[in-house]
A and B are shown apart, each in its own frame.
Chain A
Amino acid sequence: MNFIKRNQSLNFVIFFFLFSLVVTIASELAMGLFSTSFVKVLGKTMMLCLAAIALDLVWGYCGILSLGHMAFFALGGYLIGMWLMYERTKEIVISAASEQLIPLTPEETKEAIGNQIFGVVGGSDIPIIWIFADSLIIHLLLIVIIPGLLALVFGWLAFRSRVTGVYLSILTQAMTLALSLYLFQNDSGLRGNNGLSGLQNIPGYGNITQDVISVIFLWLSTFALCCGFYLASIITKSKLGNLLVGIRDDEARVRFLGYNVELYKLLIFVVTAIMAAVAGSLYYPQAGIVNPTELAPIASIYLAVWVSIGGRGKLIGAVLGAAFVSLISSFFTSGQIPNIDFWIININWVDWWLIILGLSFVSITLTTQNGLFGLIEKVKERVINK
Chain B
Amino acid sequence: MKRFFIFVGVMLFASASVASDKDLREFIWTNKASFHKSSSKTISPVIDSLLKLNSGGTEKFLLRWLNKELWFRKSDGLVVTAKKLEKKSYKIFDVIDEQLIEVIDKKKIKQIKPNSGVRAIISSALVQFQLLNADPSIRSKTLDSIARKPDERFRVPLRKAIEIENNLKIKNRMIRLEKLLTVRFEKNISQRVEVIRSLKNDLGIDVRGVLNQIIRTALKAEKVIPDNINISQILEPEKGAIDQYDFLETNHSSTIDGSFTDLDAYLMLVKEEKAPEILTQKKLKDILTQQAEIGNIKREEAHSLDSYYKRNSVLNRLIENGKVEPVVSREDMKNIVAQYVFYEEYAESSREVTNAATETLNLINNRVSVFSFVDLILEGLSLASIYFLAAIGLAITFGVMRVINMAHGEFIMMGAYSGYVVQLFVTNYTLSIVIAIPVAFLVTFFAGIVMERLVIKKLYKRPLETLLATFGISIALQQLAKIVFGTQARPLTSPEWLDGALIFNEIISISWIRVAIFVLSIAFTIILIYVLNRTRFGLETRAVTQNPSMAASMGVNPDQINMFTFGLGSGIAGIAGVGIGLYAKVTSELGNDYIVQSFMTVVVGGVGSIWGTLAGATLIGFLQKLIEWFNPSNTLAAQTYMIIFIIIFIQFRPRGIVALRGRAAGD
Contact = CB atoms under 8 A, between A and B. Distances in A.
B56 interface: no
B161 to A, nearest CB: 49
Interface string A165-177: 1110111011101
Contact of B473 (A111, A158, A298, A358): A358
**Which has the most chain A C-beta neighbours within 10 Å: B303, B478, B479?**
B479
B398 to A, nearest CB: 9
Contacts of A126: none
Given A171-B647, A174-B596, A351-B479, A103 B305 contact: yes
B292 A162 contact: no
B54 interface: no
Secondary structure class of chain B's binding surface, majority of residues: helix
A102 B459 CA distance: 72
A300 to B, nearest CB: 11
B465 A365 contact: yes
Most buried by B among A106, A169, A175, A178: A178
A362 B472 contact: yes
Interface stretch (A180-188, A205-213, A278-286): A180-188
A304 interface: yes
Contacts of A308: 465, 468
A161 B644 contact: no
B73 interface: no
A174 B647 contact: yes
A174 B646 contact: yes
B191 interface: no
B472 A177 contact: no
Contacts of B478: 354
Interface in B442-472: 455, 458-459, 463-465, 467-469, 471-472
Contacts of B480: 355
Given A107-B250, A157-B648, A174-B596, A358 B479 contact: yes
B293 A105 contact: no
A34 B379 CA distance: 58
Contacts of A354: 475-476, 478-479
B474 interface: yes
Interface string B559-601: 0000000000000000000000000000000001000100110
Nearest to A304: B468
B137 to A, nearest CB: 45
A170 B604 CA distance: 11
Contacts of A105: 281, 306-308, 311
Interface stretch (B123-131, B518-526, B539-547, B631-639): B631-639
Interface in A340-359: 351-352, 354-355, 357-359
Given A107-B248, A170-B599, A184-B636, A361 B469 contact: yes
A4 interface: no
Nearest to B478: A354
Interface residues of B, number: 62
B132 interface: no
Nearest to B483: A351
B326 interface: no
B459 A173 contact: no
Most B-side CB within 10 Å, residue of A163, A298, A358: A358
A360 interface: yes
A129 interface: no
Contacts of A169: 404, 464, 467
Interface string B387-420: 0000000000000001010100000000000000
B600 A166 contact: no
A167 to B, nearest CB: 6
A163 B646 CA distance: 13
Nearest to A103: B306
B476 A301 contact: no
A187 B637 CA distance: 10
A65 interface: yes
A265 to B, nearest CB: 15
Given A181-B636, A185-B637, A358 B472 contact: yes
A161 to B, nearest CB: 5
Contacts of B643: 174-175, 177-178, 181
Contact of B250 (A108, A166, A355, A361): A108
Interface string A343-385: 0000000011011011111100110000000000000000000
B472 A102 contact: no
A101 B636 contact: no
Nearest to A358: B476
Nearest to B406: A301
Contacts of A174: 596, 599-600, 643, 646-647
A175 B650 CA distance: 13
A364 to B, nearest CB: 9
A170 B468 CA distance: 13
A253 interface: no
Contacts of B599: 170, 173-174
B603 A167 contact: yes
A108 B464 contact: no
A169 B603 CA distance: 12
A190 to B, nearest CB: 13
B83 interface: no
Given A154-B647, A178-B644, A304-B468, A104 B306 contact: yes
A101 B293 contact: yes
A247 B119 CA distance: 84
B91 interface: no
Nearest to B253: A125
B476 A355 contact: yes
Nearest to A345: B483
A54 interface: no
Contact of A185 (B249, B288, B636): B636
A158 B652 CA distance: 11
Nearest to A367: B458
B468 A365 contact: yes
A39 to B, nearest CB: 29
B281 A108 contact: yes
B223 to A, nearest CB: 36
Interface in B622-667: 634, 636-637, 639-640, 643-644, 646-648, 650-652, 654
B168 to A, nearest CB: 50
A182 B600 contact: no
A185 B288 CA distance: 41
A158 B302 CA distance: 60
Contacts of A175: 643, 647
A165 B464 contact: yes
A53 interface: no
B289 interface: yes
A260 interface: no
Contacts of A81: none
Interface in A181-207: 181-182, 184-185, 187
B306 A359 contact: no
Nearest to A100: B289
A162 B654 contact: yes
Nearest to A301: B471
A305 interface: yes
Contacts of B249: 107
Contacts of B471: 301, 305, 358, 361
Contact of A107 (B308, B402, B455, B646): B308
Contacts of B250: 107-108, 111
B482 interface: yes
11 contacts: A100-B289, A102-B288, A102-B311, A105-B281, A107-B248, A175-B647, A181-B640, A357-B475, A361-B472, A366-B455, A366-B469
Q: When A and B form their complex, which 5 residue pairs have the shortest distance between CB atoms, in order from nearest? A: A361-B472, A358-B476, A178-B643, A354-B479, A358-B475
Interface of B: 248-251, 281, 285, 288-289, 292-293, 299, 302-308, 311, 402, 404, 406, 455, 458-459, 463-465, 467-469, 471-480, 482-483, 592, 596, 599-600, 603, 634, 636-637, 639-640, 643-644, 646-648, 650-652, 654
Given A304-B467, A358-B477, A366-B455, 7 more contacts: A102-B288, A106-B306, A181-B636, A185-B637, A351-B483, A352-B479, A365-B468
